[in-house]
Chain A
Amino acid sequence: MNLPVKPNETNAVAHNLYSDAYDWTNQCVKCGYCLPACPTYESMGVESASPRGRINLVKMAAEGKIDFQKDLAEPIDLCLGCRACETACPVGVPYGHILEAAKEAIENSPSANQKNKMNKIKKLALVHLFPYPKRMNRIGSAVQFYQKTGLSKIIRSSNVLQKVSPALAHLEQALPAIESSSKRIRTGTIMPAKGETKLKVAFFAGCIMDSMMSRINRLTIELLTIVGCEVILPENQNCCGALHSHQGEIKQAKALAKRNIQAFMQSDAEIIVNNAGGCGASLLEYGHLLADDHEWAGAARAFSEKSKDISQILHQLGPLPFTEEWQGIVSYQDSCHLRNVQKVQKEPRLLLQSIPGVSYVEMEGFDRCCASGGIYNLIHFNESMKILDEKMKNLKDTKATAVVTVNPGCQMQMSIGIQREGAANQIKSMHLVEILAKACGLD
């Protein structure tokens, strides 16, 4: 009674996927230990939205049993890429690698031309926007102009964005107030340590962080200098490429990685610091990304080994010279890429707990993705909000007045969640650096 299974795409793409990822998919013993960890399995409740299901579908596609676009694309697209499944897997199936290989194969499959509009927008941004710091900065300035002139108030009160796209409307409101570009620290600058120099670090500014959240970058650098870091901002650094590899644009991701390696390896910094969980994970995986590239593999590995999250450095060189108390309850939402890929979970918590006056309360499900997932919340708005609303219930239970994250996407997603709850007066979404800087009297 079985329907016939037609191998639709037994072509070069299936073949590539087979050689890239088939062995990894075969490591999966289908025990299901990853199911309880997966937020999309929880919210959607079907096996194709689970890690085990997705791994099996990649395997089926590599075997030519299912079609890349018709069958594989959607389940893969609906994955947040939070990689909580990897942490839960007893066997160590490298889900992140499988996911990337699948995305690349889907991008390159012959039937890929029937793509929808969103994909075109996505591509436009990926290819023509994120890789170019200047263009990103121009957007940053445009948004600042928009916020400063009061245009934003008019647009908000008119509700026009809500009508065009609820996803965009949410995002617009979650955007942080953008600092004037005159305050931005330029690349090429070297900031001396305050007091004795304990460590020379190079700072990875990131594309979104640099353009939209330059204030957080500035505060990051100030915090680093007050704990004794000499901070170098290498010139010619650019976007980490995370969004590109997540969207299957591996070539572009590799090109960006090489430019960064070149930019950073010229400095004599001992450590490369970043302040965005997602970017940090991507930097940490340059070694893997370029493993097959003889010319670059060694340098890529060395780069990855030097890469650290801001919380690790501040914790290592701390304690911070706090000058102000923070009265209230603080809770922390793990950035998935910081927790599951970089395996950093202790340091941000310890730093928060060290702030005078803070009562730290752990939120139920802190380790679960907030469903920001790069640009997941734009592309899969409804799915993302379902997961976020669950998170907000847990956050409310903590009675926190600040929820802290170490990633711009998570921070904005938390803001969106807070707005949806109408709780903007009771609770703030902050970057770890912001709250630490405030308590150190910087601003």
Chain B
Amino acid sequence: MEKEALDDLSQVIPSDRMYLDLAERYCYSYDASFGEYLPEIVIQPKNAEEISEVVKLANTHKIPVYPRGSGTSLSGGPLPVKGGMVLDMTLLRDKLIIDRENMLAIVSPGVITANIHKKAEDAGLFYPPDPSSSNVATIGGNLLENSSGPKGLKYGTTKEYVIGLEVVTPTGEIIRTGGKTVKNVTGYDLTRLIVGSEGTLGIVTEAIIRLIPKPQSKHTFVAHFNHLIDSGHAITSILSSGILPSAMELMDNACIRAVESYRPSGLPLQAEAILIIEIDGHPLAIEEEINKCADICRAEGASYVKIAETEEERQTIWSARKSVSPAITQMGPTKISEDATVPRSQIPAMMERLNQIREKYGLNLVVFGHAGDGNLHPNIITDKRNITEMKKVELAVSEIFEAAIELGGTLSGEHGIGTLKSPYMEMELGITGVNMMKKIKEAWDPNNIMNPGKIFPDKGQTRVVLVT
């Protein structure tokens, strides 16, 4: 880092929150995805004013700025691909106010999402977005990636709950978008534009999020299917029967085997799919709904259906699903985790395409995901030191995206574009579509300093490159 820039930064940030040593820089060179890029400096700001000053200096000295929450992104979101500075936002965690009357939470971006879940629940309220990283990830990271989890089906994603923001713009001004009202149609909806923008349009320094009443109770069951296609039909039949489950999770045979060999718990090795379905709401209503859903599964050919009678049984059902991630990492050191999403009617077709891709490249590919909203997680488990296999993975990944888009779906249901999917943006949006987005980016960020290298592909980049 040039001395002049460093001197200027030292005027704004005390030295004990500014790191130039190699060790610390390496510690902010990764996220939960793939690449490794060394930043020149790491800064831990404490408030919006400091950030505003830092961003102004970054514009003066043309230094890239990479905001970072807990670094759990699976798409390379916070990676400092062009060097520059990482802004570690985790010290901004002092505010977590639950406003019961207005059913809101006002939060600093560095607050861990699970803490919001807990505080809201203590007040009898509910913040539904539940990425499985919620014990680690920050609400800032959730917002910028528009995260969600199994509950997305019924309750939508993070963007459904964010109604106001404080943002430091890419040129260093502090602005507010939206506010405390649930209805707000004043001008362009900048709040929604920023949510999911992956830190390319500014740095969020405070958020107002909407809470809803906590559902009174929930009911869960698991169904085993010998044929994947039947589970697809069960999903669509349930959804068209007028019942909206709060979660519908799917595991394919490869997942079942992985979980069984990791933590044997009597899962059916011959089954092509397992569905986990949860319903929440009024105790009387869900009693009836759960039985109806179970009947539908049986009618569609489920070989086994088990409704949880106790909380313990409910946890047992979910633990199979929760073991998927750790189980598959036992199969190899490198995990490429995708989240291609298709309209739910196309789930069986997508599963078939994924099967073909697995066969064609002979890869260790497992599929699980949030079936109710079409959000599948094909995961390829490999070893990045195996260059030949990695080249095959690159091709397979491309084909996964092509399949999703051909079936009317999208590149990402929840992990974001980051560095890993940027080459495919045009495939989904077309040149003009991408250009409209680029125009917004250029207008907001004339010096291209906010999280450069993300979302938009570099010139001529048409494929993900995992190994060079």
Residue of A nearest to B25 (CB): A3
Give the residues in chain A near B88, CB-CB below 8 Å: 46-47
| Chain A: CB-nearest residue to B335 | A29
Partner of A2, one of B83, B91, B325: B83
- Asked if B24 and A32 make an inter-chain contact with CB atoms under 8 angstroms apart, the answer reads no
**A32-B71 in contact (CB<8A):** yes
The residue in chain A whose Cβ has the minimal distance to the Cβ of B90 is: A45
Say whether A393 faces chain B, with CB atoms less than 8 Å apart: no
Whether a CB of chain A sits under 8 angstroms from the CB of B171 is no
Whether the Cβ atoms of B326 and A92 lie closer than 8 Å is yes
Give CA–CA (A27, B90) in the complex, Å.
Answer: 25
Say how far B415's CB is from chain A's closest CB, in angstroms: 13
Q: Is A60 an interface residue (CB 8 A)?
A: yes
The CA of A23 and the CA of B333, in the complex, are separated in Å by 9
Bound Cα distance from A72 to B329, whole angstroms: 27
Chain A residues, Cβ within 8 Å of B84: 1
Judged by a CB distance under 8 angstroms, whether B223 is at the interface is: no
C-alpha spacing A5/B71, complex, angstroms: 22
B82 touches A33 (CB 8 A): no
Interface positions of A from 257 to 314, Cβ below 8 Å from B: none
Q: B416 to nearest A CB, angstroms?
A: 16
Q: Decide yes or no whether B40 CB sits under 8 A from chain A.
A: yes
| Closest chain A CB from B437 CB (angstroms) | 26
Q: Which of B71, B91, B325 has the most CB of A within 10 A?
A: B71
Bound Cα distance from A90 to B136, whole angstroms: 13
The answer to whether A2 and B24 have CB atoms under 8 Å apart is no
A56/B70 in contact, CB under 8 A: no
Q: Which of B27-35, B50-58, B239-247, B305-313 contacts A (4 or more CB under 8 A)?
A: B27-35
Residues of chain A within 8 A of B177, CB atoms compared: none
Contact A45 B44 (CB under 8 A): yes
Q: Which of A57, A74, A91 contacts B26 (CB 8 A)?
A: A57
Cross-chain contact of A66 among B26, B90, B136, B335 (Cβ < 8 A): B26
Are A31 and B133 closer than 8 Å at their CB atoms?
yes
Q: Which residue, of A3, A70, A75, A90, has the highest number of chain B Cβ atoms within 10 A?
A: A3
- The reply on A390 being an interface residue by CB < 8 A is no
Collect the chain A residues with CB atoms within 8 Å of residue B326's CB. Answer: 90-92
Residue of B32, B37, B82, B135 touching A30 (CB-CB under 8 A): B32
Contact (A57, B31) CB under 8 Å given A32-B70, A47-B88? no
* Chain A residues positioned under 8 Å from B72 (CB to CB): 31-32
Complex Cα gap A27–B112 (Å): 25
Q: Is A71 an interface residue (CB 8 A)?
A: yes
Task: Give Cα distance in the complex from A216 to B427, angstroms.
Answer: 72
Asked if A162 lies at the interface with its beta carbon under 8 angstroms from chain B, I say no
Is B24 a contact partner of A90 (Cβ separation < 8 A)?
A: no
A53 contacts B by Cβ under 8 Å: yes
Check A46–B30 contact: CB distance below 8 A.
no
B interface majority secondary structure: loop
Given contacts A32-B70, A35-B70, contact A74 B38 (CB under 8 A): no
Smallest CB separation, B17 vs chain A (Å): 9
Q: Is the CB of A46 within 8 A of B24?
A: yes
Q: List A38-75 residues whose CB lies under 8 Å from chain B.
A: 45-48, 50, 53, 56-57, 60, 65-67, 70-72, 74-75
Tell me if A36 is interfacial: C-beta within 8 Å of chain B: yes
Bound: A138/B371 CA distance, A: 69
CA distance A23 to B133 in the complex (A): 25
A31 — which chain B residues lie within 8 A by C-beta? 32, 72, 133, 136, 325
A residues in contact with B136, CB < 8 Å: 31-33, 35-36
CA–CA, A90 and B329, complex, Å: 9
User: Total contacts A to B, CB within 8 angstroms?
Assistant: 91
Determine the residue in chain A with the shortest Cβ distance to B135. A36
Residue from A1, A33, A75 in contact with B40 in the complex, judged by beta carbons closer than 8 Å:
A1
Task: Tell me the B61-118 residues at the A interface (CB within 8 Å).
Answer: 63-64, 70-72, 82-84, 88, 90-91, 112
Name the distance in Å between A18's Cβ and chain B's nearest Cβ: 12
- Docked-complex contact A47 and B27, CB < 8 angstroms: yes
B355 at the interface (CB under 8 A from A): no
Beta-carbon contact of A27 and B22 below 8 Å: no
Give the contacting residue for B38; candidates A3, A26, A35, A46; CB below 8 A. A3
Is B23 among interface residues, defined by CB-CB distance under 8 A? yes
Q: B21 touching A71 by the CB < 8 A rule?
A: yes
B330: Cβ under 8 A from any A Cβ? yes
A100-143: CB near B (< 8 Å → 1, else 0) gives: 00000000000000000000000000000000000000000000
- Inside 8 A of A33's CB, which chain B residues have their CB? 135-136
A398–chain B nearest beta-carbon distance, Å = 20
Contacts of A56 in B (CB 8 A): 26-27, 29-30
The interface residues of chain A lying within 8 Å CB-to-CB of B333 are 23, 26-27
Decide yes or no whether B19 CB sits under 8 A from chain A. Answer: yes
Shortest CB-to-CB span from A428 to chain B, Å, is 33
Q: Which of A1, A5, A60 has the most CB of B within 10 A?
A: A1
The interface residues of chain B lying within 8 Å CB-to-CB of A32 are 32, 70-72, 133, 136-137
CB–CB B27/A46 < 8 A: yes
Contact between B90 and A29, CB atoms less than 8 A apart: no
Query: Which of A47, A66, A72 is within 8 Å of B28, CB to CB?
Result: A47
Q: Are the CB atoms of B26 and A90 closer together than 8 Å?
A: no
Give A contacts to B, CB under 8 Å.
Answer: 1-3, 5, 23, 26-27, 29-33, 35-36, 45-48, 50, 53, 56-57, 60, 65-67, 70-72, 74-75, 90-92
List 7 tightest A-B contacts by C-beta distance, closest first. A90-B326, A1-B83, A47-B27, A53-B27, A71-B23, A32-B136, A48-B27
Question: What are 17 contact pairs spanning A and B, CB under 8 A?
Answer: A1-B82, A2-B37, A2-B40, A2-B83, A27-B333, A29-B335, A31-B72, A32-B72, A35-B136, A36-B112, A45-B44, A48-B23, A56-B26, A75-B23, A90-B325, A90-B326, A91-B329
Residues of B in contact with A (beta carbons under 8 Å apart): 19, 21-24, 26-32, 37-38, 40, 44, 63-64, 70-72, 82-84, 88, 90-91, 112, 133, 135-137, 325-326, 329-330, 333, 335
Apart from the given pairs A1-B82, A27-B329, A66-B22, 4 other A-B contacts in the complex at a CB distance below 8 Å: A33-B135, A56-B27, A91-B329, A92-B326
